[in-house]
Amino acid sequence: TLFGKIQSFAGAFLGIPKLEQLEDDKGEPIGTRLIIRAVTDYNTGQYECTALNPFGQDKKTLHLNVPQI
């Protein structure tokens, strides 16, 4: 499952949370956005984004904490 775990997304744009590919005015891919709709405490966890290109790579980690209501 994607929730509550570190995940890597290598070109996969399916599932929940949803990944959306961003494009420039010419339709060229310029990035990806992670979308979590109707956030609940089930989504609490660590999410990781890794960017790769010919110049190198970078990685950022986000911890999302959604309290129970």
- pLDDT band for position 20 (cuts 50, 70, 90): confident
d(CA 44, CA 68): 10
Query: Of 65, 11, 61, nearest to 36 (Cα)?
Result: 65
User: Could you give the dihedral angle defined by the CA atoms of residues 14, 18, 24 and 29, in that order, rounded to the nearest 10 degrees?
Assistant: -40
pLDDT at 55 over 90: yes
- pLDDT band for position 38 (cuts 50, 70, 90): confident
Percent of the chain with pLDDT over 90: 13
pLDDT at 52: 80
- pLDDT band for position 16 (cuts 50, 70, 90): low
